[in-house]
Chains A and B, each alone.
Chain A
Amino acid sequence: MGNTLIKKNTREERVKKFLISIGVLFAFIIFNLWYSGKLSELNKIVQNPKLQAFTIVLLAILIEGFSFILIGSLISGTIEVLIPEEKFKKLFSQNRFVSAITGSFLGFLFPVCSCGQIPVSRRLIKKGIPTSGGISYLLATAIINPITLFSTYLAFSSGKIVFGRFLIAFICSVFIGILISPKNKEEILKEYEEEIHDENLKKFEKIFIHSTNDFLIMGKYLIIGATIASLFSTFISRDVFISIAKNRIFSILSMQILSIILSLCSYADAFVASSFTYLPPISKIIFMISGPMMNISLIIFYFSAFKAKFVKKLLISLFFTILILGIIGSFIIGG
């Protein structure tokens, strides 16, 4: 007990020092600008194209992300408050395999993407659906839903690509769901500080309090993730990745890494993938599988809802499963 308290205090101290250093750095920059007489040129500095591009991409990801977090957290709050745990358990098979398959199709029932799936899947697991189902829902829902599949068709005008994307997403999410799911949900879920115990609250108030908690806790992770993604998107040239995509494995691997860095929404990534005209179809499919499952803003976001140990396991197994599925796919369909 004493040990935990000391640890907590040192961590608090570290955060405090970090905040103070940022403040000092900021003050130093302003002072430096003032001293060199460039403070009036601040207007020119903020018009810098790099800063403009970074700000626009960051805010674009956040506007999309926050809208979906809010919708996702409302669905999550509704599940928490209105559906009793027993009823929920009855709705879903307790068999790990069946549950993983069901989970991968839940995107048709709760079609949220761009971050909305995280509060929902966390709540589903909390409510008692087998962890394998929660994990496969988490991974598949951004891809296996009508909007994403339709936009993939629009981008490629090819049923084969849509089927390939669907099939690989399905295999990957079910496999990972079964592979890394523990029996005990406590091994996955991060504990939140604030839960509702006030029985006097009305049901709709409870729903919105859950939404606020989801929004405030997860939102900051989204901002950190989106900031890193926007930095990459602003400063790294896409040509670098395309130029190293010379052979089968490199082309899959480079598209996998590019999708992680770019953090595109699953509704839109197909249109970007279709512009890589010179790449084999399997590399484009892998780009559209890897991005919605493990891009940078999502990776940081996973840490908001799940325990760090689980997230690390999830990311490592996901990365290699997608890569291997890509290589197998390239032998089957060529490329």
Chain B
Amino acid sequence: MKVLKNAQFYRILICLFYLLFFLSISLTGNFKIFVKKFYFPYIIIGILILIFILAIEIRKEKRFKEVNVYDIFSFIIFLFPILLFLIVKPTTLPTYAAMKRGIQTEFLSEDILKSLYEKIETEGKYKKLTIKQILALSKSKPEEINEKDIAVEGMVYKNEGKFTLIRFLITCCAADATPLGIEIEYKEETGKELKNEEWVKVKGKAKVENGKVKIYAEGIEKINPPKDPYLY
């Protein structure tokens, strides 16, 4: 077991683990749980550098340097996030994070207003909009949304009998994710089964008062979490 006593062995393992981690989140598209698509090229550059680093470290493998306690300590630190990733199997930021960060129920974005009416899908009489679009419209063009039939997707967050539909808005990564929320008015029998963190599609009528929007739900159906859980 001479190899276990060589510090170089642990350096190679660290590079290998991180290379595999970066490769796995890129190939599966899971990087979107953590960072915006914008970062994808940087991840690829990181992977290329790691491949070179690993190749050079493997070539140095024959050099023997006795492993000491600091090397093991470093190895454990490097291993910690990878293990966490494998054990926790993260999916999307939970509504718990929304509560800690403070849910934004008002939002204004100029860029989406321009492109908003170019392509909107409909589902029966309902216009399919995102929470970001609804909040931006209710602030700047309330007449476009008031009393209209809308279908919107998001996560359930129930607190003291109040139901808020939540979606996180990301600029760079999950650390900066801002929770956007819309209050949903629902009939007790429609929403009784709903639990926090569940993904649902709410169909109903939007009402805007003083720039604040509320949706009066006519139907709530459970859906699978979308491949891309965040809004950008």
Contacts and interface: CB of A to CB of B under 8 A. Distances in A.
- Best-buried of B14, B39, B45, B110 by chain A (most CB within 10 Å): B39
Contacts of A247: none
Interface in B10-31: 11, 14-15, 18, 22, 25, 31
Contact of B74 (A62, A220, A235): A220
B33 interface: yes
Contacts of A236: 100
- Best-buried of A70, A157, A215, A235 by chain B (most CB within 10 Å): A70
B113 interface: no
B138 interface: no
B73 A19 contact: yes
A51 B88 contact: yes
A213 to B, nearest CB: 10
A224 B74 CA distance: 11
Nearest to B100: A237
Which label, helix, strand, loop or mixed, suits the secondary structure of the B interface? Answer: helix
- Best-buried of B42, B96, B171 by chain A (most CB within 10 Å): B171
A50 B106 CA distance: 26
Nearest to B54: A212
Given A15-B73, A212-B56, A238-B102, A67 B46 contact: yes
B197 to A, nearest CB: 7
Interface in B38-55: 39, 42-43, 45-46, 49-50, 52-53
Contacts of B96: 49-50, 52-53
B85 interface: yes
Nearest to B174: A60
Interface stretch (A96-104, A170-178, A264-272, A316-324): A264-272
B43 A67 contact: yes
Given A205-B56, A234-B97, A268-B173, A67 B69 contact: no
Contact of B175 (A57, A209, A227, A235): A57
Contacts of B95: 49
A73 B68 CA distance: 25
Which label, helix, strand, loop or mixed, suits the secondary structure of the A interface? Answer: helix
A4 to B, nearest CB: 16
- Best-buried of A59, A151, A220, A272 by chain B (most CB within 10 Å): A59
10 contacts: A19-B72, A46-B88, A52-B90, A52-B93, A53-B100, A56-B90, A61-B175, A66-B46, A70-B46, A212-B15
Interface of B: 11, 14-15, 18, 22, 25, 31, 33-35, 39, 42-43, 45-46, 49-50, 52-53, 56-57, 68-70, 72-74, 76-78, 80-81, 84-85, 87-97, 99-102, 104, 106, 110, 171-176, 178, 197
Interface of A: 12, 15-16, 18-19, 22, 46, 49-53, 55-64, 66-68, 70-71, 73-74, 151, 157, 205, 208-209, 211-212, 215-216, 219-220, 223-224, 227, 229-230, 233-239, 242, 262-265, 267-269, 271-272, 275, 277
